Amino acid sequence: MSEAIDLSHHLSLLARSRKASPLKDILAYLHYPGMVSLAGGLPHPALFPFANIDVEVYNPGSDLSSLVSSDTTHISVPKVNTEGGVSLAVALQYADVSGMRALLKYAREFTQLVCSPAYKNWDVLINCGNTDGWTKAVGLLCEPGDYILVEEYTFSSAQYLWIPMGCKGAPIKMDAEGLRADHLDEVLTTWDTTHPGVKKPHVLYATPTGQNPTGTLMPDKRKQEVYDVCVKHDIIIVEDDPYYFLQLAPYVLNAPASTPTAYSQSAHLASLEKTFLNIDVQGRVIRLDSFSKTVAPGSRIGWFTANPLFTERLLRASEVTTQTPSGWSQGIIIRLLDEWKLGGFLQWLHGLAAEYQKRRDWMCDGLAASFDVQPSTHDASLTAYLKGTQTRLFTFVPPRAGMFVWLKVFLHENKQYQEMKGKLEEPELDYEKMLWQDMADAKVLLSSGNFFLPWEGKEKMDREENVIFFRLSYSMTSKEAMQAAVQRMADVFAGAWS
């Protein structure tokens, strides 16, 4: 195993220009015996109006079917901790922007166990969640006006960061296994002829697990193919992977409910598709892990794993922008993880995935009940027909991870759309909006597919004819409400295709 290769040429001008604050140089002197510091600017912890916090936390194996579990234990953070553990006096003070030492240590151990990065000198850095992580990754790597490689359908909030910078997306086609390595290679190989005089992209934004919006899970083999293309074309991969532990068993149409088996950590870890980090022999992956989907979004905590050149530059950016994430969040999360131990956290994650799998099945079963659903002969997708008819409405791939189902709706047999074609400039967009509104009027709220189309500039974006998209989330709704919502969708489809 070797060290990361030199990737310094990927740094933006801004990232290269950052300097460490000179105030930091003082820190080395602080711990000299007998030293009295008049150098800092810290409020005295005696002036923090808190004496203790006590948090009632779930045990890792808690039953998650009710809103509040009673299978709990208590963790606390005292003002002062003479045993060297987390204290409010430290957690609520200005602090090392890398993150609390205990949390960094945990992130390192966790990453080693789960991702086993394929090079030696990787490092981790705490951030304020993956939105913050992506913001800092873009600041690290991108110049205004750059093209960024993105999936054909991409997480819309991520691009709302770089659109105002004058950046554009270079979309990479996807299939049921995520973004296609062959198309990535084609886009990059032909770049200079398809985009004469335009700087070649050098950053790929990818969400390989439970991709938002498509719900695809990229298998190990595909990851290796994508990685190889990135090596060939010298691309940095930003692996935004908040749903990594929400990997789900394949959906089986009309399957009986499965009985849960006893938890085994080794079986659990072995069941997971690997990460880009696992195969990152060169250090060209910036992985974004988050506690948002595994603990709670309001924690606003995640971490980078990357080569040390990148983490150092990211740290410089954090120092002058966000500083450290909330000390409340860090303190509570590290105490929770301490309490659970690594094994307990993994068991918790396994339980979470089971919960998402149950919900995924509710959704897919609901679709199978309200539509006539047929499996494909050549891939994992299902096709839905208007109940009792041969009218093909949409296909979807039952998600293998995350919280989203992505419907590709066919308009070939939709009269209203066919009448709009040729008369309107963007008939797919307009019809998608109309159908969305019909759904909303029928009391079912979807996410419009056009939200997830990569921004390629003001010129009219190429849209496939005769198709529109909707994203359905199964994370928040009860089984009954989900069934009702899907039936309302079926009724709207029936009306619109009549």
CA–CA dist 380, 8 (Å, integer): 41
Of residues 213 and 283, the one with the C-beta less far from its own copies: 213
Minimum CB–partner distance for residue 16 and its own copies (Å): 8
Which one-letter amino acid corresponds to residue 453? L
Q: Name the packing angle between helices 327-370 and 479-496 (round to 10°).
A: 50
Minimum CB–partner distance for residue 210 and its own copies (Å): 10
Of residues 285 and 446, the one with the C-beta less far from its own copies: 446
Long-range pairs, 304-307, Cβ under 8 A, ≥24: 304/124, 304/125, 304/127, 304/133, 304/136, 304/137, 305/107, 305/111, 305/115, 305/117, 305/122, 305/123, 305/124, 305/277, 306/122, 306/123, 306/125, 307/4, 307/7, 307/119, 307/121, 307/122, 307/123, 307/283
Minimum CB–partner distance for residue 183 and its own copies (Å): 26
Of residues 55 and 467, the one with the C-beta less far from its own copies: 55
Of residues 248 and 301, the one with the C-beta less far from its own copies: 301
Q: Which two tokens stand for residue 446?
A: 């979807």
CA–CA dist 423, 430 (Å, integer): 11
Of residues 347 and 395, the one with the C-beta less far from its own copies: 347
Of residues 418 and 487, the one with the C-beta less far from its own copies: 487
Of residues 296 and 424, the one with the C-beta less far from its own copies: 296
In three-state form (DSSP H/G/I as H, E/B as E, the rest C), the secondary structure along 363-384 is HHHHHHHHCEEEECCCCCCEEE
Minimum CB–partner distance for residue 278 and its own copies (Å): 25
Q: How far is CA 319 from CA 31, 34, 94, 265, 290, in A?
A: 22, 28, 11, 37, 20
Minimum CB–partner distance for residue 220 and its own copies (Å): 26
Q: Which two tokens stand for residue 322?
A: 């966000």
Minimum CB–partner distance for residue 453 and its own copies (Å): 11
Of residues 181 and 336, the one with the C-beta less far from its own copies: 336
Minimum CB–partner distance for residue 349 and its own copies (Å): 11
Minimum CB–partner distance for residue 80 and its own copies (Å): 6
Of residues 9 and 443, the one with the C-beta less far from its own copies: 443
Of residues 230 and 409, the one with the C-beta less far from its own copies: 409
Between strands 382-385 and 392-396, the pairing is antiparallel
Minimum CB–partner distance for residue 46 and its own copies (Å): 5
Is 417 within 8 Å of 183 (Cβ atoms)? no
Instruction: Enumerate residues 6+ apart whose C-beta is below 8 A from 37.
Output: 26, 29, 30
- From 449, 451, 450, 454, select the one nearest 148 (Cα to Cα): 454
Of residues 188 and 485, the one with the C-beta less far from its own copies: 485
Minimum CB–partner distance for residue 194 and its own copies (Å): 25
Minimum CB–partner distance for residue 320 and its own copies (Å): 4
Cα 302 off chain centre by: 11
Is 399 within 8 Å of 360 (Cβ atoms)? yes
Q: Which two tokens stand for residue 372?
A: 């006539």
Q: Which two tokens stand for residue 3?
A: 């060290």
